[in-house]
Homo-oligomer: A and B are copies of this chain.
Amino acid sequence: MYILYQSQPSGNCYKVRLLLTQLNLPFTTIEVNIFKGESRTPEFLAKNPNGRIPLLALPDGTYLAESNAMLGYLSEETMYGGRDRWERAQILQWLFFEQYSHEPYIATSRYWRTLLGQPEQYQDQLAQKQTPGYAALGVLETHLQQHPFLVSDRYTIADIALFAYTHVADEGGFSLVEFPQIRAWIGRVQNQPGHISIEVSDM
């Protein structure tokens, strides 16, 4: 049994729930209240010295941090991972794009606006996130003009990683009105077998 230490509305945590569900792997979740500092307690830091969620406890009791590392680990030798070296390279490229060029703008804006519910307090920071956040959406849109999914025209963990925060981009103040390819891709991802919404926790 996998145990996912998580915060339910976090897109990074949702990625892992979604893949575990689609792989039909039994798991349970433990809610960590990051607003109360529960990811920075000595007990949690002993599990993940970086003090972040999600954190995945494997069935043997070892811990793995970093949502996209979990996607890579869980998808190995499955239909959601790369089938050859070049597919794996392209998947990695998208996973690092997500964590460096997408998440810090779109997810962080969503955190301030919707999870903390303090759009006025973070007004200046939110304004700074607009241009790079829309640039990331532009990269996605351009790619999806030519491809139904991000890698090899099939649904992989690259789609899971990018879907997590893109489909709730409006909660970060990013409109998808001008991104028709992204909207169509969101529909294709939501139509995958075993898809669950971000509201669903345990299997």
Contacts and interface: CB of A to CB of B under 8 A. Distances in A.
Interface of A: 49-50, 52, 62, 64-70, 72-73, 76, 85-86, 88-90, 92-93, 95-97, 99-101, 103-104, 139, 142-143
B49 A142 contact: yes
Copies in the complex: 2
A66 B104 contact: no
Given A72-B88, A76-B85, A92-B73, A97 B65 contact: yes
B92 A68 contact: yes
A115 B87 CA distance: 35
Contact of A89 (B50, B64, B89, B142): B64
B66 A92 contact: yes
Contacts of A66: 92-93, 96-97, 100
A64 B86 CA distance: 9
B101 A50 contact: yes
Contacts of A69: 89-90, 92-93, 95-96
A87 to B, nearest CB: 11
A76 B88 contact: yes
Contacts of A104: 100, 104
Contacts of A143: 49
Contact of A88 (B50, B68, B73): B73
A173 to B, nearest CB: 21
Contacts of A95: 69, 96
